[in-house]
Structure 1
């Protein structure tokens, strides 16, 4: 088996954290992103943490791995998705 160039590529391909809906991070509406992550987290039977933490972890993982390559507009949308996710689970912002 060929070794991936980046550890994050391997995590994305083999992680059992959540089975995400295709294209979730390309959606334009932050609420739709949050709802999709919520559905995935609630449906997952392999996650180790509670649904909120699993969903938030996947969102943060994606944002962090994109790094400087993530356009400002896209970053704002994904950061807004974090706020939406907190609202869906009744969590207050940090």
Structure 2
């Protein structure tokens, strides 16, 4: 009868471990849980408050027409001291950020209005539509 030779390693793919001795995924889950315990707000709210994103008017995306949204973003982006890019880049970035974060929860009518606001924003900055 032939006997099998036992391998010296425990598994074919050893798990890399960090300083805490846990695999990376578990450390991430632990940090995520600690953050959730401290802050019940959405991460996108945290990003809007603490990043170098420009300062915008309150609820600018929720009310108004495409023209008013575009004009408000243009005003905010030209006045803001917290932006990193050009005023056009910052304004378009904020509009895209809102559309992407809303995702499927954004009604079709509102999504169409925001897409129209993108076109109006390009016109307001003299860009080709």
TM-score w.r.t. length of structure 1: 0.89
* Contact 1:30 1:84 (8 Å CA) reproduced: yes
Check if 1:91 corresponds to 2:127: yes
Task: Give the counterpart of 1:59 among 87, 95, 98.
Answer: 95
Stretch of structure 1 that moved more, 17-26 or 2-11: 2-11
Task: Give the counterpart of 1:71 among 107, 110, 113.
Answer: 107
Report 1 or 2 for greater relative contact order, CA contacts < 8 Å, sequence distance ≥ 6: 1
Unmatched segments (≥5 aa) in structure 1: none
Task: Give the counterpart of 1:30 among 63, 66, 71.
Answer: 66
Unmatched segments (≥5 aa) in structure 2: 1-34
Q: What is the number of residues matched between the two proteins? A: 93
TM-score w.r.t. length of structure 2: 0.66
- Structure 1 residues 26-52: Cα deviation after superposition (integer angstroms, max 9, x where no partner): 222101000000000000112100000
RMSD, aligned CA: 1.6
Specify the SS of the correspondent of 2:81. coil
Stretch of structure 1 that moved more, 12-21 or 50-59: 12-21
Relative to its length, the structure with more helix (as a share) is 1
Specify the SS of the correspondent of 2:57. coil
* Contact 1:30 1:80 (8 Å CA) reproduced: yes
